[in-house]
């Protein structure tokens, strides 16, 4: 119960902050699962008169769980197959972008991490995690702006979808700094913008 109360309070506090998602309440879900299991165990130990009722309750829960798995398995199976097909298709569609990225020497950062992976570029940064940590105050954004001002990255890839909705890759001021020190080198209909350092 103490674990449940603490995880609920902490999860709520974390969930309302900038850059967080539903994983903030996972501990609370785990605690509720433990409480249900312990409650069933306690009911089972109350005496002979409750054993029959408890067995029925346990059987009902087991059936519900099995039905849930049975109904979800086909959907998850086909979703997984579809995802794998899409990954292979995406790689073939963006083959030119991958070759282009691979031809540029030096460190790269990609909003679409698979592009940097396929281009055999070492991992430097996850846009999503960095954006969340900057907005939450965990990372000082000066560390990133300093790298941008120094033109540390040889190429920066920004997703096409972000351009269409006018959203920032990081924060407004960081993005402004990025376009101050970097220019558009390639505009791909599939992979978005590729930026390289402006010459002094």
Per-residue pLDDT of the chain (200 residues), as tens digits, is 899 899 888 888 877 765 566 777 888 889 988 888 888 777 766 655 666 776 777 788 788 878 888 888 888 888 887 777 777 767 777 888 899 999 999 999 999 898 899 899 988 888 888 888 888 788 888 888 999 999 999 999 998 766 555 567 788 888 888 889 999 888 888 888 899 998 86
Return the SS3 of 21: coil
Same domain as 79, residue 130: no
pTM of the entire predicted model: 0.60
- Cβ atoms within 10 A of the Cβ of 19, count? 15
The per-residue pLDDT for 48 is 58
The residue range of the domain holding 20 is 2-91
**Boundary of a domain, candidates 73, 91, 109:** 91
Same domain as 59, residue 100: no
**Boundary of a domain, candidates 42, 73, 91:** 91
Q: Are 194 and 185 in contact (CB under 8 A)?
A: yes
Expressed in percent and rounded to 5, the helix, strand and coil fractions of the chain are 65, 10, 25
């Amino acid at each position: 119960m103490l674990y449940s109360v603490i995880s609920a309070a902490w999860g709520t506090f974390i969930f309302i902050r900038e850059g967080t998602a539903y994983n903030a309440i996972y501990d609370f879900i785990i605690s509720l699962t433990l409480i249900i299991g312990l409650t069933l165990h306690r009911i089972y130990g109350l005496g002979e008169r409750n054993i029959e009722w408890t067995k029925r309750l346990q059987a009902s829960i087991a059936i519900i769980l099995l039905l849930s798995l049975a109904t979800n398995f086909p959907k998850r199976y086909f979703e997984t197959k579809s995802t794998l097909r899409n990954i292979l298709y995406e790689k073939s569609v963006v083959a030119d972008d991958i070759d282009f990225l691979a031809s540029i020497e030096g460190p790269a950062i990609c909003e679409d991490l698979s592009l940097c992976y396929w281009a055999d570029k070492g991992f430097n940064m996850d846009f999503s995690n960095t954006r969340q940590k900057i907005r939450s105050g965990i990372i000082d954004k000066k560390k990133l702006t300093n790298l941008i001002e120094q033109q540390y990255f040889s190429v920066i890839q920004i997703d096409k979808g972000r351009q269409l909705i006018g959203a920032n890759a990081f924060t407004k001021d960081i993005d402004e700094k990025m376009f101050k020190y970097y220019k558009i080198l390639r505009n791909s209909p599939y992979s978005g913008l590729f930026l390289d350092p402006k010459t002094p």
